[in-house]
Structure 1
Amino acid sequence: MATELTRLVGDCEDGECPTIYATDRGTLAFQGEEITDHGRTIRAHETMVEIPIELIRRAIRDNLI
């Protein structure tokens, strides 16, 4: 079963840019630019993404998270 995502806040309306989503599992999902040169060791099923700090500030300011 696919995880259900509810858009909280994003930098554009078409879903093709940095966005924060709430999941139906009580977590947050972040859409952003994948960072591949971070120098960290992470699990194979994980990835690093980069989103603007202002996006998080807006989500907090608007009481979305």
Structure 2
Amino acid sequence: MRLRFLGSTSEAGACPSLYETDRGTIVVQGLHVTDAAALADLRHVLDGETAVEVPRELLVDIARKVLS
């Protein structure tokens, strides 16, 4: 799988960031959610899956770029 950087809200280009894959999917780089109460709210988490946190504005910004 290859990744193409889409954008970030970090000034250094670190996390949180979004990437497009050559498989037509999106990869999210962000802070690992460790709060037990938040993790308890997740549904249907499969083995090998995790939750990461990204700001809403990053998703909105990337959606505007991709859809325009």
TM range (shorter): 0.7 to 0.9
- Give the unaligned 5+ runs of structure 2: none
User: Is 2:20 the counterpart of 1:22?
Assistant: yes
2:5, 2:27 → 1: CA distance? 9
| Aligned-residue offset at 1:13 | 5.5
Residue correspondences, number: 63
Partners of 1:25 and 1:57 in 2: CA distance: 22
Root-mean-square deviation over aligned CA pairs: 2.1
Unaligned 5+ segments in structure 1 are none
**d(CA) in 1 for partners of 2:6, 2:14:** 14
TM-score, length basis structure 2: 0.76
Of all paired residues, the percent bearing the same amino acid is 39
Q: Structure 2: how far apart are the matches of 1:35 and 1:12?
A: 18
The counterpart of 1:61, out of the listed 57, 60, 64, is 64
The TM-score, its normalising length taken from structure 1, stands at 0.79
Distance in 2, matches of 1:14 and 1:56, equals 18
